Amino acid sequence: MNGAMLYGPYDVRFEPRPDPTIVDPTDAIIRVTATCVCGSDLWPYRGLEPITPPQPMGHEYVGVVEEIGSEVKTLTVGDFVVGSFFASDNTCPICQAGYQSRCVHAFPMGAIGTQAQFARIPLADGTLVATPDMPSDDLIPSLLAASDVLGTGWFAAVAADAGPGKTFAVVGDGAVGLCAVLAARQLGAERIIAMSRHLERQRLARAFGATEIVTERGDAGVAKIKELTDGLGAQSTVEAVGTQESMLQAIRSTRPGGAVGYVGVSHGVALPGEELFFAEVHLMGGPAPVRRFLPALIDLICTRRIDPGQVFDLTLPLDQVAEGYRAMDERRAIKALLIPASA
């Protein structure tokens, strides 16, 4: 098969890789129907995260089960499945508490690399969720979004305690931030403030349920949020970038007693303890336990109540994966959908 490998900064190649095979009896092999480039893939792509080249790339995927190991019980060959970016057993105490991304047996799918025609999925019973039937083609982008950006945005909104009557704000206008807007709307937030300076992303934020747009960032963005909330700040704030500026912007935009859900992969963030102490906000975040939300998200998508697939504004054949990285790096695309040739 062929797949994407990162050789160094700005050097993604689509090249032959070994066909995956069943390694453990709990594995499944899927034929990848659609995959995509993640905002978090841009950190190693830009050379801002160390790699051991060549490194397989990609951790988002939907596909069809091709083969199952002898201990896989809940899936059959031919099932259409959605999985998270962390494989998990879904049975350990951490999983049972709803934090499958930190499963005691968690395995990062990025180490396997799903920007490929086929992928081995460890712990298939715990990791994959089958759709009720074979989805029509127009549902595939939304199901793929559930694999990461929607699941992550949803977790962020839940972590920020979004709910009826509340004012919700989101820092970050990438696909995850936009999906957090969609989630907050579904969770019943009354006011949803999206922070974005990008017209196309503002448009999508409004389509997903944003009621207000703030174009300022940093301290000016915080001042604007305060101005919109009688000087109090938002009750629920999502951080979906991962930098020092965005994290402090999220915390400072939140009123005492409120909550921050942070899901931007943290890079160089150091929180000042005294400010944190007096901020008096709830902080919850980390790699999203997407698996917790997959059954509900698949249902919302398959019954066409949400359409998160709109975050994909560029679709390319998988062999043009390098262009997908370039387009996202240059912010020409919010998110690039990649279709393997065998699909």
Q: Max CA-CA distance within the chain?
A: 60
Q: Residue 13 or residue 102: which is nearer to Zn ion going by CB?
A: 102
Nearer to Zn ion, 64 or 92 (CB): 92
Bridge partners (DSSP) listed for residue 337: 36, 315
Using CB under 5 A, which of the segments 97-105, 179-187, 221-229, 248-256 binds Zn ion? Answer: 97-105
Q: How far is the CB of 292 from Zn ion (least distance, A)?
A: 11
CA distances from 248 to 84, 245, 251, 275 (A): 28, 5, 5, 10
Q: Does 103 bind Zn ion (CB under 5 A)?
A: yes
| Closest to Zn ion by CB, 78 or 98 | 98
Encoded tokens for 23: 């390694």
How far apart (Å, rounded) are the C-alpha atoms in residues 274 and 141? 44
Q: Which stretch binds Zn ion (CB under 5 A): 23-31, 93-101, 111-119, 132-140?
A: 93-101
Residue 228: partners with Cβ closer than 8 Å, 6 or more residues away: 167, 191, 193, 212, 214
Does 42 engage in binding with Zn ion (CB under 5 A)? no
Rank residues 103 and 290 by Cβ distance to Zn ion and give the closer one: 103
Phi and psi angles of residue 139, each rounded to the nearest 5 degrees, phi first: -90, -10
Please identify, among the stretches 56-64, 89-97, 177-185, 204-212, the one whose residues bind Zn ion according to the rule CB under 5 A.
89-97
CA-CA-CA-CA torsion sign (89, 90, 92, 97): positive
Q: How many residues make contact with Zn ion (CB under 5 A)?
A: 5
DSSP string, 231-299: TS-EEEEEE-S-SHHHHHHHHHTEEEEEEEEE-SPPSS----HHHHHHH--EEEESS--HHHHHHHHHH
Q: Among 95, 194, 204, 251, which residue sits at the site for Zn ion (rule: CB under 5 A)?
A: 95
Of the candidates 1, 64, 92, 284, which one interacts with Zn ion according to CB under 5 A? 92
Residue closest to Zn ion (Cβ): 103
Segment near Zn ion (CB under 5 A); pick from 50-58, 103-111, 144-152, 281-289? 103-111
**Closest among 162, 141, 253, 254 to 209, alpha carbons compared:** 162
322 binds Zn ion per the rule CB under 5 A? no
- Which residue's CB is nearer to Zn ion, number 89 or number 125? 89
In this structure, are residues 156 and 176 in contact, taking their beta carbons and an 8 Å threshold?
yes
For Zn ion, which is the closer residue by CB, 103 or 241? 103
Nearer to Zn ion, 88 or 147 (CB): 88
161 binds Zn ion (CB under 5 A): no
Q: How far is the CB of 101 from Zn ion (least distance, A)?
A: 10
- % helix / strand / coil in the chain, to the nearest 5? 35, 25, 40
Of the two residues 95 and 121, which places its CB atom closer to Zn ion in the complex?
95
Q: Does 89 bind Zn ion (CB under 5 A)?
A: yes
- Determine if 87 is a binding residue for Zn ion (CB under 5 A): no
What gap in Å lies between CA 224 and CA 233, rounded to an integer?
9
Beta strands across the sheet bearing 254-262: 212-214, 191-195, 167-171, 234-239, 254-262, 282-285
Q: What minimum distance in Å lies between the beta carbon of 125 and Zn ion?
A: 11
By CB under 5 A, name the binding residues for Zn ion: 88-89, 92, 95, 103
